[in-house]
Amino acid sequence: MNNPKIVQKFPYKVSIEAGKSYYWCRCGLSSKQPFCDGSHEGSEFLPEKVKLDENQDVFFCGCKRSKKGAFCDGTHKEL
């Protein structure tokens, strides 16, 4: 498996609406970071669906190396 493109070495803070589906970009090629715009077509990467039960601010991974999927785990500090 190839590694996704590192977009930035810090997370994206996003306000999430309860019940709404968001699709986090895994490939790093989207022009609508941190969300998918379909640029992964033809690659081995697929977006990750995120849907929460309450409104909240979340930190989406910007380096695409998090072991917590779409959510930042601090891995960017080691890059």
pLDDT of residue 6: 97
Measured over the CA atoms of residue 7, residue 13, residue 15 and residue 19, the dihedral's sign is: positive
pLDDT of residue 1: 60
DSSP string covering 31-55: SSTTB--STTTTSS---EEEE-SS-
Look up residue 70 and give its DSSP letter.
T
Helices (H) and strands (E) in the chain, counts: 0, 4
Give percent of the chain above pLDDT 70: 99
pLDDT of residue 75: 97
Domain boundary assignment for the chain: 1-79
For 25-54, how does the pLDDT look when each residue is reduced to its tens digit (9 = 90+)?
A: 999 999 999 999 999 999 999 999 999 999
Residues constituting the chain: 79
